Amino acid sequence: RFLYSALWTVYRLMWSRPAPCVSYRSFSAKPLAGESTALVYTTHGEPSQVIKLGTLQLPSLGDKSALVKMLAAPINPSDINMIQGTYAILPDLPAVGGNEGVGQVIEVGSKVKTVKVGDWVIPRDAGLGTWQTLVVLSADDLVTLPSDIPLLSAATLGVNPCTALRMLSDFEELKPGDTVIQNAANSGVGQAVIQIAAAKGVHTINVVRDRPDLSQLTDRLKVMGATHVIKEETLRRPEMKELFKFYPRPKLALNGVGGKSATELLRHLQSGGTMVTYGGMAKQPITVPSALIFKDVKVRGFWVTQWKRNHGHNDKALCSMLDELCTLIRAGKLSPPACTEVSIKDFHKALDNAMKPYISTKQVLVM
């Protein structure tokens, strides 16, 4: 009778508590073996409403799998879009949020040869769910990184710097003294473009939205290596002609915004130049001006996830790209964006900040 009474009391206490999590086991002070604390969504919608902190039971470790302890994972715009259900690829639901991050291998299956215990690893593809403390993944889905680079550099390496390097390398043959123009210059991609271009001796004209702290932002981007920082409105003003008296017109334009901003970038390209679109933050279509006819400009698109999939059979291409980026990091020529580290338990704060306009720091979940 006493045992029955005690069990009934525990049962009532568990189910009378608020339930922000997927499983009541996530209230445990210490997670059980074989479990992972994760940010899970069971339906698409606004992240602040659909993301829940929960406990997941890990699958058993297969012969070709690895158990990874996640160390840090950023919140990127693509993560938000995936949760909202508007991204190009969507995982099956329920799903764990996050497409990027760095973890450490703590156990491997008997047939795993590509990673070993202690290695730092990042996901090879999107949609694997990085917002969790532990995860079992196929070893083929992991890429090793050197552990002598800063943790935040490793956590934010797989998406934005890769996007920046590929766009600077694959569409125009840029030489020292050439010019690149980009909007969304304060984004993660934009900051990587500034630094990689500067390391190659390429000038950058960087377009940002007007904001209260514009002067401080301009100074920060110039310290990174930005040649010029201008407001969106300046693209349509005579000052641009003055600018091109000192620097050649851009061979390459990088568009992460769309709408009128993209149209203006196209107008300033040199004849035969290329605009590469990698994002559409304005959620507005691109209107192509007469430069398409009279200047024979090219309009291209780029998605780093597709690049990785196209080169999935070629580890050499991916490793070569990561090696180049890590070399820049070690040389002090490529730093991560300004980051705010937030405990996974305080995820609501991180999600709220990631959704705010004019936030200059990237939210990074630490496990």
Tokens representing 89?
């690829």
Instruction: Tokens 């090696």: give the residue.
Output: 323
Burial class (CB in 10 A: 0-12, 13-18, 19+), 73: buried
Query: Residue 124 and residue 142: Cα distance in Å, rounded?
Result: 5
Query: SS3 of 349, please?
Result: helix
Distance CA(47)–CA(41), nearest Å, equals: 8
Report d(CA 256, CA 260) in Å as an integer.
Answer: 12
Amino acid present at 339:
C
Return the percent helix, strand and coil in the chain, to nearest 5: 35, 20, 40
Q: Count the residues in the chain.
A: 367
Assess contact for 119 and 102: CB atoms under 8 A: no
Catalytic entry in 24, 41, 87, 247? 87
Phi, psi of 338 (to 5 degrees): -55, 130
For the question of residue 87 being annotated catalytic, the response is: yes
Among all residues, which ones are annotated catalytic? 87
